[in-house]
Structure 1
Amino acid sequence: MVYLVLAVILLLIAAVFFVAYKAVRGIGGDRIPGLKWGAIGTLVVLGLLTLGMSITTVGARSVGIQTAFGRYQDTLANGLQLTAPWSSVEEFSTQVQYLDLDGDQAVPVTFKGGGGGEVNATPRWRIDAAKAENLWKKYRTFENVRDKLVNSSAKDSVRIIASRYTPNDARSGENLRKLTDEVQADLGKSLADDGVLIDSISIKGISLDERSQSSLDKIVEANNYVERAKAEQERARIEAETAKIRQQNGALSGPAITMKCLEILDKWSSANNGPLPAGFVCPGTDTRSFTVTDK
């Protein structure tokens, strides 16, 4: 549009110079060379303007959508391109983009069974160059694709998938990875037809509202009580089994200890083992001395 306005103005100026030159030529117009050169100079400027506005550059890792009068004309590859001077080019980057859904942009969710919170996520996405035309026809600019398509679709996917989990399940390690995979699959499916590819998505954290956090703390505390009770029961069981084994072996029986001592003394050999320690007595007996024979 700018080119057409400038071109019309320059053509009018050139026409004025030419008409004036022709009008005064018969009465000595050749003595006014400025009229002729004015027309020529104006046409040269128009030619340079046309050439300058016909050359455009599409950035690396981008495609250009060439349009004229609000209609699609062509999809341009990156690099130097020659176009009609009255057309315009809108660039669409094809490199991976990062969409930060955190802070003020965090996704509010309602979990299964009630309670709510916010999910902090980062989708990584890029445009399918082969479908850039469709994106331009629907959204016109790259910024609109990012804000009105990818942003809103990502938030919808997070809300839908998170609503299938309870707050406790959503924050557990294994389920969080599962939730992330489900969001990526859902978002990729919803954007595929539009020409947006999801490279990956990460969920950096889930914050709960006061009600959900309080409920979760109670669940964690109850689970801790259960685990401690199980540990105490297991320890008591082990101790009981140990005591039973010792009882069966006579380890805890006083008479058994006395009998074992007496058996040892009965088999004691002074020649082999040496004399008994002075004052030795078996537990549970009043015997202060024993006569040990050589065996």
Structure 2
Amino acid sequence: MFGVLLAAVALFALATAVFGKADRVRRGAWATFGIGLFLSLAFIVGSCISVVPTRNVGIVTSWGKPTGRTTGAGLQWTAPWQDIDEWDASGQTYAHLGDQCVWVTIAAQRRACIPVQIEWSAKSEKAPENWAAYREVGEKTRFEVFVERRVNPQINGSLTSIFASFDPLGSVDVTSGDAPAPDLNKTYKDPLIKALTTALGDEIVVKSVAFESPRYDEPTTQAIAAYGQKILEARNLEIDKANAKTRAEITRTDASVDQVARCLQIAEKLGKEPGLCMGGSVSLTRPVQSD
């Protein structure tokens, strides 16, 4: 705009230089015309140049409306009445690790906090459409509004969906009652990538997903501990039953041995045949007299 104003001043000075009558006025007008022309050209050329940052997409607009043309990074030229707005196509991070984990509702209406980090980037071919679909809000750029209203809600929704059937009690060892931390990367990484691709595949590219060990609310933590305790109690009960069975067997064996020993003692005392004490059908307390 300032370049156009300078051009108007230069044209006015040119008219004065051509049609002016006084030589002094004409000389001053020619000087003003030269300076105005130089400055106006400099400003107009400068307004035609834009620098798009690395990994960004330039959205070419004309009077505030997208033309459909995009540019890559670097020095770009446009018409004086055109402008270039930026759309961030660099790598973005949905970082919710540690205490910033995402709370979701899991199986049996329990609550778990899922620490997750997702790396993604916007597709450059969708930049003009998404740029036109969102407006600046306060100090937020169109891209920041796009992330806040489009990308993040879809990520949160996908996390809620894939963890809806997650049951932390399933990770409890049924033999010991221990509850090791579940490996979410092994179980939920691929399903989350698939869910995000379905929801946002036309607009972003998901580059990586990484989980940490989940946290639980107090009722869920207590439920896991109670379940593990029940498994431990059941295991101890089985051990007690096995021990009782073993003790009963030992008692029966000891009783049989005692009877044989008593029979042998009686046989020796009475001078009877001791071999008959080992028979199952002969009284062990009354050895049969040998012929």
Pairwise same-fold verdict (TM > 0.5)? yes
For residues 64 and 172 of structure 1, the distance between their equivalents in structure 2, rounded to whole angstroms, comes to: 46
Contiguous gaps of at least 5 residues in structure 1: 259-295
The amino acid across from 2:128 in the alignment is E
- 1:17 paired residue number: 13
- 2:197 paired residue number: 188
Alignment partner of 1:199 is 2:207: yes
For residues 235 and 207 of structure 2, the distance between their equivalents in structure 1, rounded to whole angstroms, comes to: 41
**Cα distance, 1:165–1:233 mapped onto 2, change above 3 Å:** same
- 1:146 paired residue number: 147
For residues 123 and 56 of structure 1, the distance between their equivalents in structure 2, rounded to whole angstroms, comes to: 32
**Cα distance, 1:54–1:201 mapped onto 2, change above 3 Å:** same
SS state at 2:115 partner: strand
For residues 55 and 107 of structure 2, the distance between their equivalents in structure 1, rounded to whole angstroms, comes to: 42
2:65 corresponds, among 48, 63, 71, to 71
Contiguous gaps of at least 5 residues in structure 2: 136-141, 172-179, 265-291
For residues 91 and 235 of structure 1, the distance between their equivalents in structure 2, rounded to whole angstroms, comes to: 76
For residues 178 and 210 of structure 1, the distance between their equivalents in structure 2, rounded to whole angstroms, comes to: 24
1:120-135 to structure 2, matched below 5 A, reads: 120-135=115-130
Matched pairs, number? 248
SS state at 1:85 partner: coil
1:113 corresponds, among 99, 108, 112, to 108
1:11-66 Cα shifts (integer Å, max 9, x gaps)? 3322332344345x22x234652221112211111111121221223233332222
SS state at 2:108 partner: coil
SS state at 2:57 partner: strand
CA drift of 1:232 comes to 5.5
CA drift of 1:158 comes to 0.8
SS state at 2:86 partner: strand
**Cα distance, 1:109–1:30 mapped onto 2, change above 3 Å:** same
For residues 199 and 10 of structure 2, the distance between their equivalents in structure 1, rounded to whole angstroms, comes to: 56
CA drift of 1:145 comes to 2.9
For residues 73 and 185 of structure 2, the distance between their equivalents in structure 1, rounded to whole angstroms, comes to: 40
CA drift of 1:205 comes to 3.2
1:61 corresponds, among 43, 55, 58, to 55
Alignment partner of 1:91 is 2:91: no
Counting aligned pairs with the same residue, the percent is: 21
TM-score, normalised with respect to structure 2: 0.70
**Cα distance, 1:65–1:232 mapped onto 2, change above 3 Å:** farther
1:224 corresponds, among 224, 232, 246, to 232
Alignment partner of 1:210 is 2:203: no
SS state at 1:99 partner: strand
1:210-252 Cα shifts (integer Å, max 9, x gaps)? 2222222211222233344445666777x67x979xx7xx999
Contact 1:62 1:78 in 2 (8 A): yes
For residues 202 and 177 of structure 1, the distance between their equivalents in structure 2, rounded to whole angstroms, comes to: 10
For residues 56 and 258 of structure 2, the distance between their equivalents in structure 1, rounded to whole angstroms, comes to: 85
TM-score, normalised with respect to structure 1: 0.69
- 1:156 paired residue number: 157
Contact 1:109 1:116 in 2 (8 A): yes
The amino acid across from 2:129 in the alignment is N
Q: CA RMSD in A?
A: 3.6
Alignment partner of 1:50 is 2:51: no
User: Which stretch has the larger CA shift, 177-186 or 97-106?
Assistant: 97-106
User: Which stretch has the larger CA shift, 13-22 or 78-87?
Assistant: 13-22
For residues 160 and 118 of structure 1, the distance between their equivalents in structure 2, rounded to whole angstroms, comes to: 14
For residues 169 and 88 of structure 1, the distance between their equivalents in structure 2, rounded to whole angstroms, comes to: 58
User: Which stretch has the larger CA shift, 161-170 or 171-180?
Assistant: 171-180
CA drift of 1:191 comes to 0.2
